Structure 1
Amino acid sequence: MDHSCLRIVRFDNLSHRFHRRVLILRRFSRLLWNRILACTPGKSRRYLLLPPAAPSPIPSRPLQPPPTISAADGAPFICEASVYRRDDSYRKSDSDLVSLKISLLGDSQIGKSSFLAKYVGNEKEVEKAQEKGIILMDKTLSVGGARISYSIWELQGDEQTRDQIAMACKDSVAILFMFDLTSRCTLNSVISWYQQARKWNQTAIPVMVGTKFDEFIQLPIDLQWTIASQARAYAKALNATIFFSSASYNINVNKIFKFVTAKLFDLPWTVERNLNIGEPIIDF
C-alpha cells in the first residue's frame, strides 16, 4: 500500500473516531438535558408532546374480599401519601387497593379534625371540608405487601349532623369514639355515641380516643386520676381499647391506626399497656 492510500485510511479512521465521539457527546448532552428537565418544577417539555389520555370508563365488578395478611407478614406500616377529597364528583379508582372505612364520632370542638389532619398529613384539605358536616378523607398504606386505602369519615358532632350517624357508621370496620380529656361532659357523651352507632353497625372494632393530652397533663393530678379512671371504666364497658392522644404533639395518632390495622389483619401487636397517670394511657 502506497503512502497516499495510508493517508486516506488514516483520514477515514480519524473521521470515524471524530463522528463517534460527536455522537457520544450528543447522547450525553441529551441525557443530561432530560434529567435537568425532570428535576425542574412543573411539567417536562417532552411530556407536553404527548396527547392527553381520555379517561377510561370504570368497569363494574364484584367487591373483592380483603387480602389475607398473616402474622408473618408483620412488615412496617408504610404510608404512600395518597390523600383524596371524597366529596369530589369523580374519585380515582384503583383495582389494586382494598378500601376500608373508619368512622370518627364524638362531640363537636373536641379535636377530631385536628386528629384527622395530623394522620392524613393534609391540614388544608380538612379545613376546606369542615363546613360540609361530614369530612371524608383517604389515606393509602402498604401493609405486608398489600395496599390498603382507609376511607375515614368524621362526623362533626353538632346537633345538625346527628341524623347522619347511619351514613357515617354503615360498613365501617372500626369506629373511633372520641372525647376531650379536659372536658368530662364530652367523655359522658361517649356512651350515647356508642349506642347510636351500634344501631347501624354491630361489628366495627370500637376504640375510645381521648384528645388534647398535652392540655390534660396540665390539670391537677387528682383530677387526671378521676378522668382517667372514668375513661377506662367506660372503655371496659364498651369492650373497647382506649388511647390518650395529642394531635399537636402527634402522641398516639399513628399508633391508633396501626392498632386497628393489626386487629383487622391479625398482625402482631407489640405495644404494651400504659396505666401511669401523667403519661398517655393505653389500655386494652
Structure 2
Amino acid sequence: MSKNYDVLLKLLLLGDSGVGKTSLLCRYVDEEVRSTHVATIGIDFKLKTIELGGKRIRIQIWDTAGQERFETLTSQYYRRAQGILLLYDISSDKSFKNVRKWISNISEYAESNVKMVLVGNKCDIDAGRQVTAKQGQQLASEYGVKFLECSAVKNLNVTEAFRKLAEEVVVVPNENAKNRTLDRKENEAPSIYLSSQSQEEGTSENKCSC
C-alpha cells in the first residue's frame, strides 16, 4: 500500500505529570476534551496529517508520562524526536520551575538540532494563575525558543502550537521561510527541506503504547 504523505515528523510532548499533555494531544488529533485526568503510563502516540507548503506532513506525536519513575523509559525517545513541545501548567509554579529540569534532560538525551516550543497550558483557568505570560515568554527567550499559551478546554492555540513546532522542523519553500533559513546561525544543524521527492522514516504507523 502506497503511503499517503510526503514527510514523516516525530514530535515529543514533555512536561510534569498533570500539565495537560494528553488533553492537548486529544484536542489536536481527536478534537475532543478529556473530562477526567488519567495519567499516561510510559509512552503512547497519535498520528495526524497536515499540509505545509503544498506537501502532506504526517506527524507522529509521542505522549510521555511525566512521573519520575518513567523518566528512564521516556528518555529513550528523546533522540527519535525532531521537535519537542514542552508544557507547564500556568496554575502550577512548580511545573514552571521544572521546565529547566526538562530542558536539561533534552540537552542530555535529545539531538543537538532538535526544535522546541514552550507551552503554558491551561490558560482557561486564569483565576488560579501562578505563572504570568510574561514569565513564560522570558523563559522561552532565555533558551531561544518559541512560546505561547494554550487551553485544550477552550481550544485556544492548540493547533497553532503543533503547527508552530512543525514549521520549526520543516522549512516551507516560500519567501518567508527562505528569509528565516538565511537568518539561522552557521553552526545550527539544517531542518527538513520540502522538495518534490518524498521522505520516509522506517517507523511503523500503527498506534502502540508501552
The answer to whether structure 1 residue 152 and structure 2 residue 68 are counterparts is no
Following the alignment from structure 1 to structure 2, what is the Cα–Cα distance between the partners of residues 158 and 180? 15
- Please, which runs of 5 or more residues in structure 1 have no aligned partner? 1-55, 57-92, 270-284
Q: What letter corresponds to residue 118 of structure 1 in structure 2?
A: R
Aligned to 1:107: 16
Following the alignment from structure 1 to structure 2, what is the Cα–Cα distance between the partners of residues 96 and 175? 21
Aligned to 1:206: 116
**What is the correspondence of 1:89-238 to structure 2 with a 5 Å cutoff?**
94=3, 96-121=5-30, 123=32, 131-201=40-110, 202-215=112-125, 217-219=126-128, 227-238=132-143
Q: What letter corresponds to residue 214 of structure 1 in structure 2?
A: D
- 1:243 equivalent among 134, 142, 148: 148
Q: Equivalent residue of 1:247, what SS? A: coil
Q: Is the 8 A contact 1:173 1:205 kept in 2?
A: yes
Q: Is the 8 A contact 1:154 1:168 kept in 2?
A: no
Structure with more helix by fraction? 1
Q: Is the 8 A contact 1:155 1:168 kept in 2?
A: no
Q: Equivalent residue of 1:152, what SS? A: strand
Deviations 1:4-59 (A, max 9, x none): xxxxxxxxxxxxxxxxxxxxxxxxxxxxxxxxxxxxxxxxxxxxxxxxxxxx8xxx
Following the alignment from structure 1 to structure 2, what is the Cα–Cα distance between the partners of residues 209 and 199? 21
Following the alignment from structure 1 to structure 2, what is the Cα–Cα distance between the partners of residues 124 and 230? 27
The answer to whether structure 1 residue 260 and structure 2 residue 168 are counterparts is no
Q: Equivalent residue of 2:109, what SS? A: coil
Runs of 4+ in 1 over 4 A off after TM superposition: 122-125
Compute the displacement of 1:112 (Å): 0.8
Following the alignment from structure 1 to structure 2, what is the Cα–Cα distance between the partners of residues 208 and 96? 27
Superposed CA RMSD: 2.6
Q: Equivalent residue of 1:193, what SS? A: helix
Structure with more strand by fraction? 2
| Equivalent pairs, count | 171
Alignment TM-score, normalising by the size of structure 2: 0.72
Following the alignment from structure 1 to structure 2, what is the Cα–Cα distance between the partners of residues 250 and 144? 24
- Please, which runs of 5 or more residues in structure 2 have no aligned partner? 178-210
Following the alignment from structure 2 to structure 1, what is the Cα–Cα distance between the partners of residues 48 and 24? 14
Summarize the Cα distance change of 1:130–1:187 in structure 2 as closer, same or farther, 3 Å threshold: closer
Q: Equivalent residue of 1:170, what SS? A: helix
Larger radius of gyration: 1
Compute the displacement of 1:257 (Å): 1.8
Compute the displacement of 1:136 (Å): 0.8
Compute the displacement of 1:205 (Å): 0.9
Compute the displacement of 1:264 (Å): 2.7
Following the alignment from structure 1 to structure 2, what is the Cα–Cα distance between the partners of residues 95 and 107? 34
Following the alignment from structure 1 to structure 2, what is the Cα–Cα distance between the partners of residues 96 and 261? 15
Q: Equivalent residue of 1:103, what SS? A: strand
Summarize the Cα distance change of 1:130–1:185 in structure 2 as closer, same or farther, 3 Å threshold: closer
Q: Is the 8 A contact 2:7 2:58 kept in 1?
A: yes
Following the alignment from structure 2 to structure 1, what is the Cα–Cα distance between the partners of residues 149 and 90? 8
